[in-house]
Chain A
Amino acid sequence: MKAAGFGRDAASAVLSLRSFGAAPLGVDRVLVDVGDLDLWPGECVALTGPSGSGKTTFLRTLGGQLPPRAGHMRLAGQELAQAATAQQRTLLRRIALVAQQHDLVEPLPVHANVMAGALGRWSNLHALRYLIRPSAEELADAEAALELVGLAGKLREPTGRLSGGEQQRVAIARALVQAPILLLADEPVASLDPRTANAVLGLITRLARERGMGLICSLHQPRLAERYFDRVLELRDGRLEAAAIGDSRSAAPERA
């Protein structure tokens, strides 16, 4: 296969995009022109831009919820094609997406929502058995993930009874159980008060750096972006551009 402009460095990057383009479902042309982007282990990138600029479309495309419209994508040095092989599907499971609120299953207890991150590794039978009788080991895993996000002791609480900020942390814990190498967060603090927002951003950037995950997080507040992230990229008029702080993107992206 043609190298498609991946440099020698791209091998060690968590995520490498070349001439990458995204679009919502039902739109045939590229609406979000990402161009080239390399994300290194432990690097935290903030994604800003006005509402409707395509931040969610971009993140959902990276998360596998939308098909890519143009260019190439490499995850941990492996080229990802449209028709994924079994090995690539295993790799895709290591991309975790934390959305805004309301993507947890509220009637389930907290631990079931957390361990839902492991579903990709479990068989259907295993999943059914867990709902009837979770093993002590699995509950310990869930508790460990909850401890990391500062929610120790909430294991058996009904998820619907938690506050907005707590639910956001449960979603992060679920993403951690997925053991991701790339963590995507779509406006994770949009509906949180400033104090909780700071705590959540501090948490995910710290976890990303500690565990060497790449992090792309969309945000509305430039001040928070500069405070917690290594790089800030802005989506403007359908193109991804550097907004502040040293940008390592190649200046002249190749067009497909």
Chain B
Amino acid sequence: MRPLELLLDFLPPDLSPAYLLALAPAVLQTIGLAVGAMFLAFCASLPLGVVAALRLPGARALLAALGALRAIPDLTLAVLFVVLLGLGPGAGLFALALYYAAGVAKMFADILRTAPEAPLRALRTAGASRVQVALFGLLPLKRSDLISYASYEFECALRASVVVGAVGGGGLGSELVGSLAALDFHRAATQILVLVLLAAAFDAGATQVRRDPRWLLALMPVGLFAVIAYAPRMFALGHALEVFGQMWPPEIPATAWAKLPRWIWETVWMAAAGTGGAVAVALVAGPASARNLAPAWIAWPVRRLMELLRAVPEVVWGLVLIAVVGVGPVAGAWALGIHSAGCLARLFGDCLENAPVAPQRALASTGASRMSVFAYGAAPLAAGPMAAHALFRFEWNLRMATVLGVIGAGGVGQALYEAQQLFFYRQMLAYIVLTWLIISAVDRAGELVRRRYTLAPALIGADPV
């Protein structure tokens, strides 16, 4: 267990007041990135979602475009925006804004489509135009659903804002990359600790927003300020267009074609190994954290440990592990495995806790031991949803594996990052397209498997990412 041993080098974190103070600007920038990006994303996605939900002309094409855009990971977009806008928070902010605008708009459209038909029909009969139907019907009817989804995405955006920093998008992520490159592990540990605390604070804030949506209005000026403050100073449209022109047409050189199968294999292997390891851990930690199965003195510490594992995003685990075990897909698999173990243990535990009680009680009444009740009752009852979660996690990890490559874990992502660093823009675009193809194919395959076996799709918000 050499990697785990090396992780001890990170202790203790540097908690000196001077350093914490020095870290403050980076923390503020990360918060600004998240709030600013979400401000732009919500401004764009609400009207787009309404257009798609009302099936206005072009809605079908719009939904297809949003779905396609969503298949390019945030970090991949950040690599592109760093090239177009230059290093700094502006690139991170706009990459995040675009990624979330696409995803949130698609989700908003799906939510709005579940609005009851009768009130909308009544408004149309009263002579309301389509915009008026949206204002007086659609939006108020689905207000609380929209807000709770928005606040969920808000938490995700904070973690993502650290992630885009890793490729030069500013904030805490850029600091972390710097500390790790300088082998300054104690300070890196501080930054990770700050990130975990910040995520917890955002989580609490999101709960507050759900309770009283007016808090969302309070965030608007902060978001607007961040957008203005981080807008690239020297942005020139001509330059950006020229750079974009240099990416055309995308090409993969002859030497790279030979490596392509290996890169794709590395990416898939990373996801499979990480998910497999995580499932193995979660099969033990899940039951151990289920409060109806394990005694409290076991369940409580297991729960806290798993929370810690999933509080740190995959990319941050990746940065840390690449620093200690070196560049390559092994570090990537570990990073995916550690984070996924935390997520899956929680989900498996929930599945076991939520398994129907009546059959288990019937088993217990026959005099069966606790162990047999688990083996013949809770375990088979929870197996279906647990399989659905594991499958969703594998899909998610394939997506994340392309992202981890960008920070040095091998595969397609690494090829993309190296092309960017060497200014081979045409290759860079080719690898972005390849990433998009892989993720779109995985999404489609996952959908087919779920439909074939009628596994319930993982609910948005129920699945910690």
Q: Which positions in A face B, CB cutoff 8 Å? A: 63-65, 89, 92-93, 95-97, 99, 102-108, 112, 116-117, 119-122, 124, 127-128, 131, 171, 174-175, 178
- Minimum CB distance partner of A90 in chain B: B127
Return B373 CB to nearest CB of chain A, in Å: 43
The interface residues of chain A lying within 8 Å CB-to-CB of B131 are: 124, 127
Majority DSSP secondary structure for residues of B touching A? helix
A108 contacts B132, CB within 8 Å? no
Contact indicator A112/B136 (Cβ below 8 Å): yes
B residues near A (Cβ < 8 Å) are: 116, 118-119, 121-129, 131-132, 135-137, 140-141, 143-144
Q: In the complex, what residues of A have CB within 8 A of residue B121's CB?
A: 65, 99, 103
Q: Are A117 and B126 in contact (CB under 8 A)?
A: yes
CA distance A178 to B257 in the complex (A): 68
Q: How distant is A220 from chain B, measured CB to nearest CB, in Å?
A: 19
Give A119 to B135 CA distance when docked, in angstroms. 11
Shortest Cβ gap from B50 to chain A (Å): 12
Counting chain B CB atoms within 10 Å of each CB, the highest count among A65, A97, A116 belongs to A116
Contacts known (A105-B141, A107-B141); A131 close to B136, Cβ less than 8 A: yes
Given known A-B contacts A97-B122, A102-B118, A103-B122, A108 and B136 have beta carbons under 8 A apart:
yes
Give B142's nearest chain A residue, CB to CB: A107
Task: Give the complex CA separation of A89 and B125 in angstroms.
Answer: 11
Question: A65 contacts B141, CB within 8 Å?
Answer: no
Query: Which residues of A are found within 8 Å of B136, using beta-carbon distances?
Result: 105, 108, 112, 116, 119, 127, 131
Closest residue of A by beta carbon distance from B143: A107
Q: Are B132 and A122 in touch, CB under 8 angstroms?
A: yes
Which residue in chain B gives the minimum CB-CB distance to A104? B119
Contact B118 A92 (CB under 8 A): no
CB contacts (< 8 Å) of A63 on chain B: these are: 125
State A178–B124 Cα separation when bound (angstroms): 12
* Chain B residues, CB < 8 A from A97: 122, 125
Selected A-B contacts with CB under 8 Å, 17 pairs? A65-B121, A92-B127, A93-B126, A96-B125, A102-B119, A105-B119, A107-B140, A108-B140, A116-B123, A119-B123, A119-B129, A119-B132, A127-B131, A127-B132, A127-B136, A174-B122, A175-B126
**Cβ 8 A contact of B127, one of A93, A104, A128, A131:** A93
Which of A89, A102, A120, A128: most chain B Cβ within 10 A?
A120
Cβ–Cβ contact A178 & B118, under 8 A: no
By Cβ-Cβ distance, the 3 closest A-B pairs, closest first, are A120-B127, A119-B128, A93-B127
CB distance from A158 to the nearest CB of B (A): 10
Residues of B within 8 A of A171 (CB): 122
Contact partner, B140, options A105, A122, A174, Cβ 8 Å: A105
B137 touches A105 (CB 8 A): yes
Closest Cβ of chain B to A66, distance in Å, is 11
Within the assembled complex, what's the spacing in Å between the Cα atoms of A65 and B126?
10
* CB-defined contacts of B125 to chain A, threshold 8 Å: 63-65, 95-97
Beta-carbon contact of A103 and B119 below 8 Å: yes
Q: Which chain B residues lie closer than 8 Å to A108 at the CB level?
A: 136, 140
Q: Knowing that A96-B125, A131-B136 are A-B contacts, what are 7 other residue pairs whose CB atoms are under 8 Å apart, sorted by A's residue number? A: A64-B125, A105-B123, A105-B136, A106-B141, A107-B140, A121-B127, A174-B122
Closest to A100 in B: B118
Give bound CA distance, A119 to B136, whole Å: 9
Residues of B within 8 A of A124 (CB): 129, 131-132, 135
Partner of A131, one of B118, B124, B135, B144: B135
Question: Which residues on the B side are within 8 Å of A99 (C-beta)?
Answer: 118, 121-122
* A77 shortest CB reach to chain B, Å: 20
Residue of B nearest to A122 (CB): B132
Residues of chain B lying within 8 A (CB to CB) of residue A117: 126
In the assembled complex, the Cα of A175 lies from the Cα of B125 at a distance in Å of: 10
Chain A residues contacting B143 (CB-CB under 8 Å) are 107
A156–B143 CA distance with the chains assembled, in angstroms:
18
| Contact A119 B122, beta carbon cutoff 8 Å | no
B115's nearest neighbour on chain A, judged by CB, is A105
Chain B residue nearest to A64 in the complex (CB)? B125
In angstroms, Cα B141 to Cα A27, docked, is 31
A104 to B118, CA, bound (A): 8
Contacts of B132 in A (CB 8 A): 119, 122, 124, 127
Q: Among B122, B123, B127, B144, which residue has its beta carbon within 8 angstroms of that of A107?
A: B144
Chain A residues whose CB sits within 8 angstroms of the CB of B127 once the complex forms: 89, 92-93, 119-121, 178
